[in-house]
Amino acid sequence: MDIFKKAADYDKMDEHRKNGVYPYFRALESKQDVEVIMEGKRRIMLGSNNYLGLTVDPDVVEAGIKALETYGTGCSGSRFLNGTLDMHLQLEKKLADFLGKESVMTFSTGFQSNLGIISAIVGRDDYVICDKENHASIYDGIKLSFGKMLRYKHNDMADLKKCLDRVPEGKGILIVTDGVFSMSGDIADLPTIVKLAKEYGARVMVDDAHGLGVVGKGGRGTASLFGLEKEVDIYMGTFSKSLASLGGYMAADEYVIDYVKHNSRPYIFSASITPVSCATAIAALDKLASHPELVDRLRSLSEYAREGYKKRGVALRQSNAGSFEELGNVPIPIIPIYTYTDERTLRVNKAIYENGVYVNPVISPAVPANECLLRTSYMASHTEALLDEAMDRISEVLSADK
């Protein structure tokens, strides 16, 4: 049989294209900002992970220009050989200091970070215990590791305990969870995860791609939010969200970093972060470290948006972000609007897009077939007036399509 037969038979998107609701690969014609030009028309951007709005910050942009002039366009090699710049070491040191960890190593993308960390740490006879709603890169990292995976129901600590009970005596265990879950805006129950990890001799890894710059002291992430910086063994994160660049990182004890550097195939056999990506990540991190009010502004706008939808009669499913008594209210800049079916999600998304607002439609199999949603996300650089305009337009569409 022709191996391309599956491609020739693939028609899943044909109906969406035929109905004019295909939502993917929209072309930006401007900077990634609170307002963009997309396919020739102004759209209010509520579909970006640019949480601090730093992609257009003059200092961040200037850092990228200077790096291009100084170092050229790329390193043309892996960090192992000719691909280490002094800037890479500077970024890793700054990030380790910011996060309060002994050491940091960087990867070329966030996806590659999870592949590289998990596949190096987890051996064939080890166990990975994984929240069911973890990011796809975590699942692929587990596959690459050949370790044994057990999954627990989303944020269900009783189910996590059942998984831990199933691990044979003497086996290595890594519990992996998103810190802030990218679709729901939920926060991992790190206090209970850490407690169970200690009880069962497990290690804890947190994917903080959507936590850095968003939660914790000065935006230091989910472990910082709970005061568990020393108890979380591995932080993973990305530069493509709050830090307005491209790449990823692992933060951990020095001996763990040294092991992964010398055993991670995705790290060893990939070219290093480009000079521009490295320089802009440094500049964005410096901006975050020196301007913690950016995080406060992001939280304020996130709460403003959530209250604004409620006032307009838009039904929202409450995340668990306010359910931790010790934290109080924790506004998360991810607000899902559940549209439930593929058909309604794509129909409503098209109408909202034509009404001048960009949001992200999330349909099956990315989510269960009856839990489709519009993912809206917010930036510290939004204004209340712009959010009001966007929410008015979204609520108009939703009211007309009940």
Q: Is 264 in the same domain as 357?
A: no
pLDDT at 145: 96
How many domains does one find in the chain? 2
90 and 203 together in one domain: yes
Q: Are residues 137 and 218 in the same domain?
A: yes
Gap between the Cα atoms of 238 and 178, Å rounded:
12
The token pair that represents 315 in the structure block? 């039904």
The answer on 300 and 285 residing in a single domain is no
| 31 lies in the same domain as 96 | no
Q: Tell whether 267 and 371 lie within a shared domain.
A: no
DSSP string, 115-178: HHHHHHH--TT-EEEEETT--HHHHHHHHHHTPEEEEE-TT-HHHHHHHHHHSPTT--EEEEEE
Per-residue pLDDT of the chain (402 residues; tens, 9 = 90+): 999 999 999 998 999 999 999 999 999 999 999 999 999 999 999 999 999 999 999 999 999 999 999 999 999 999 999 999 999 999 999 999 999 999 999 999 999 999 999 999 999 999 999 999 999 999 999 999 999 999 999 999 999 999 999 999 999 999 999 999 999 999 999 999 999 999 999 999 999 999 999 999 999 999 999 999 999 999 999 999 999 999 999 999 999 999 999 999 999 999 999 999 999 999 999 999 999 999 999 999 999 999 999 999 998 987 887 678 778 789 999 999 999 999 999 999 999 999 999 999 999 888 888 889 999 999 999 999 999 999 999 999 999 987
Q: What interhelical angle do 136-145 and 110-121 show, nearest 10?
A: 30
Predicted local distance difference test score (pLDDT) of residue 226: 96
Q: Are residues 76 and 180 in the same domain?
A: yes
132 and 110 assigned to the same domain: yes
End-to-end CA distance of the chain: 46
- Residue 363 sits in a domain whose CATH number is 3.90.1150.10
Residues with a catalytic annotation lie at 182, 210, 241
Say what the pLDDT of residue 321 is: 75
Which pLDDT does position 52 carry in this prediction? Answer: 98
Domain extent, residue 205, equals 58-290
Tokens 């903080």 correspond to 208
Task: Among 266, 290, 314, identify where a domain stops.
Answer: 290
CA distance 378 to 305: 8
DSSP state of 367: S
The CATH number of whichever domain residue 246 belongs to comes to 3.40.640.10
- Per-residue model confidence (pLDDT) at position 350: 97
Both 255 and 306 in one domain: the answer is no
Same domain, yes or no: 73 and 97: yes
Q: Quick one: 28 and 80 in the same domain?
A: no
